Structures are given as C-alpha cells and as structure tokens.
Amino acid sequence: MVLRESPFPNRLLSGLYSLGQYLLFPSYWAADCLLDLTETTAERQQRRCCRCCPLQALVTGPLLLLLLILSMPSALLGLLLWLPMQAARRPFAYKHNVLSRHPEVWELPGTGKVFSFVSANVCLLPNGLAKNSNLGQMKQRAARIGQRLTHGEASTSFASPRSSQFDRERGAGPGEISVPFPPDVDFVCLQEVFDQRAGAHLCQLLSPFYEHIVYDVGAYGLQGCCTLKVLSSGLFLASRYPVLAAQYRCYPNGIREDALSAKGLLSVQVQLGAAHGQRIVGYLNCTHLHAPAGHSMCYGAHAQIRCDQLTMGLSWVQLFQDTHAQRGDVVAFDVFCGDFNFDNCSSGDELEQTHEIFRQYQDPCRVGPRQDRPWAIGTLLNYLHIHEEAVSTPEKLKRTLEQEEGRRTYLAGPILQDGRPDPSAAGSPWEGRRIDYILYREHPTTISLTTEVEKFSFITQLAGCSDHVAVGLQLLLNPAPQ
C-alpha cells in the first residue's frame, strides 16, 4: 500500500507524541468530568425515578476541580511536548487490515455494479461536550454505533416496507425510511468522531468488516490552520475497496467554538477494478461544515462561512483529483457527503441553497432551492426529545418519522435568517431540516458509465446514539451502450 499506517515517520516521534498525550490526559479527564456533571434529559428523569441525591455534584465537583488544578504542571509539560510533534504528524491515521473476504473486483466491459454509501453524524465528542446535544456516555454509544454499523442488517431486511400512509403522503420514488443500514455497505463516512478513544474503538469494531479505514483526521495544535486546534475534524472513513490516496485539508475560517476543531475536507481515491488494463477508480469527499450559531443577528455571517467552505472544498476536490488521476482512468463515481449544517427548506439557509456545489453535484433528494423530493425528510432530530419513548429504538423512530405529527415533534424545524424557528413552517407537508447530504456527479471517461440512484435511505438505526438520522445512497453504474 502507498499509505503507511502510522501517522508518524518513525517510532521515536510516535512515542514522544504518546507521552505528551499521557501527560495531558489527567487534566483532560478532569475537565471532561466537570462538564459531564450536567445532566441529559434521560439522566434527569432517571434521577427523579430513583430519587438520587442531587447533592452528589456538590461533592464531586470540588474534587474534580482540585484534580484539575493539581494536574496543571504535568499538562503544561505535556503541551510543550505535544505541540511540536504536530509538525511531524500526518493529519490522519490509516488502518489496513487484511481480510479473507474481499469485494468482487469490477471488470469492464461487463455488467453493471451497485455501490452503497452511508453518511452519519454520530456526535462522539467527549462526554461533557456531548451533553450540549443531550447525549452522554460516549464510550457506550461508540460501542453501540460500531455494532449497529456492522450488524444492523441482521435484524431486518434493508428494503423494509413503508407504511401505506407514508406512501400516500410522499409518493413513489427511490427514497425510503429504513431501520437497518444496507447489508455490506461499501463506504461509511462519519462526522463528529471527535474523541480519539471513540475513533480507535470504532476502528477496532469496523476493521473485521472494512479492510481500509482512515481515522483520527485533523491537524491539531497550530499546524495547517491559523488557530489552536484542540479537537480533530471528527471525520472517519471506512472502505471495503483499496485506498490509493488520501488527503485532508483544514478550513481556515472557523469562528467561536468551531475554531477549536479542525473541521475540513477528507478526500480519498479508491480502486474498484480494471477496464482494458486501466484503473476503475472512485472518489469520496467527506466534510463537516461550520455549525450554526443559534439565534443571532449575525447568522448571515455564519452562512457565508459555510459557503466559503464549500467553495474551498470544490477547489480542493479538483486539485486532489488532478494530482492523483492517471491517463485512461475510468471514474465510476465522485461522491461529496457529510454534515453541511444547512437545509433546503429554511429561509435562513437561502445563501447556501444556491451554492455552486449543487450545479456541479447532484442531490438525489432535491428538486431545486427550497424544494425537495416528496419522499425526502429531515435528518436533524430535536435534541430535547431524543430520549423519549416514541424514538427510543430504531423501529420506533422509523414508525414515528413515517407520521407527519411525529416529524413535527421529533425533527428540528426550519429556521429564519436570524436562526430562530420559522413560525410559518406550520403548514403541510412538513419535512424538517435535512442537513446531512450525499451528493454525486458523473465524470466523462473513455468508457462511458450511466449512473442511476437505485435507493436513497433515511436510516433510523442510530436511534438513541445520535441527534442525527443517518443517510444512505445506492448507485447503480452501467456501461453506456455504444
């Protein structure tokens, strides 16, 4: 493989980097535990049912604060060691796990082939920060997410039938609300895998199924970006097909709390097969754009940041493809996915809805600005209600989202230009905010391929594990008739 597994060129630098992390960990752990004292709605309800003592935080808090203060000298030493090591670190880790079962190599000319993609925001931040999204228990959620990504199809078939009411409301089309992930997904693109321990655990759980994994993506410290980065990009990519090249770029324009994370674009080139002795390749681009600022008079400035990030992303994608293309390559697919943090129904997201990316790439769920397909629904859950009984399991979440009243209650609603909820969105039909995207485009190559969307899925398998609904895309590629 062209890619080496360690992000460092030698063991000495890798060891020094690990030593810096060990010295930083006590302060990191104490600060996270202090923030973790905030209760989620589920924890609050459990405390009321069990009649637990609310004074526990008053005892634990001072002890954690004392530990944080006492660990500061070692943290300072660790920081002085950790920061310079970033200059030697490649901005991602790569795992190549040789499997006995390989995907079928595609050869052209021949029959068509279906490729499946999944994109999901999994909110795997440190526990204290995840509480802002009404989620905690990062370690347990990481384990459940990994198990559901690899074993979710065992419980029910992928093409789970929609209710007749949902069919009547939304009409026919390639879209569906599905409980499990597709069986044998070819490519998994995740966002918000910010915690390094969660990323390593996901890598361990997925490696028996995915031979190639790119994780711990991001430039920490002051490397590659203009501000200090204490969190990674949160991007994570697993592929059943060989990764030929990978590149990460950091967005330089994040502000407020977003400036502390190395959000950016991860681009990879994968090899799918051969055609007349030439490579058949695919391109995947995974990103997480600037997060909304909430109710703010300067909401338009945050919209401009997202537009600028998309513009940078398009230029980086083209540069990456120009750099790694070979003469005669057959490009099977070019996918751009992730959490864009804007939707196609809110008046507050009008600027992003007309961005150039929607002229270069196709959105299967979209007709045009402010108009989605009848079967498309929102992907951002109302975080205050994610622990309620109606959405507590994948099956219950699916049934709830098939009903318009359920979507109104449990999906986040459209917003105005200042970030406030849009009261005019009370009309029907009501879809919610679809901020998770999988876009694609065709490439002119020596062997023409036709691209057809075979299925687009809104997947409820991560119920209780995230405040987002995962999305899946199946593309059918056929050689065009000569």
Annotation marks residue 468 as catalytic: yes
- Which residue reads 């694609």 in tokens? 440
Collapsed DSSP state (helix, strand, coil) of residue 468: strand
Question: Are the C-beta atoms of residues 334 and 360 closer than 8 Å to each other?
Answer: no
Tokens standing for 423? 């009261």
Contact 148, 205 (CB under 8 A): no
Preceding peptide of 444 cis, ω within 30°: no
Residue found under tokens 């997947």: 459
Helices 56-70 + 72-85 axis angle, to 10: 60
**What letters, b where the CB count within 10 A reaches 16 and e where it falls short, cover 216-251?**
bbbbbbebbbeeebebbbbbbbbbbbbbbbbbbbbb
By three-state DSSP, how is residue 233 classified?
coil
| Complete edge-to-edge strand list for the sheet that includes strand 449-459 | 93-96, 212-215, 236-239, 187-191, 113-121, 470-479, 449-459, 175-178
99-134 b/e (C-beta count within 10 Å ≥ 16 → b): eeeebeebebeeeebebbbbbbbbbbbbbbbbbebb
d(CA 320, CA 176): 33
The torsion angle over the Cα atoms of residues 124, 129, 130 and 132, rounded to 10 degrees, is -150
Tell me the DSSP string of 154-178. GTS-SSPPPPHHHHHHH-SSSEEEE
Sign of CA dihedral 85, 88, 91, 94: negative
For 250, 257, 351, the CA distances from 266, given in Å and listed in that order, are 9, 21, 24
**CA within 13 Å, CB half, 452:** 12
**Alpha helix stretches (DSSP H) within 325-371:** 350-353, 357-360
Please give the Cα distance from 271 to 74 (Å, whole number).
46
Spot the catalytic one: 212, 355, 443, 468: 468
- Comparing CA positions, the residue from 319, 353, 338 lying closest to residue 249 is 319
List active site positions: 468
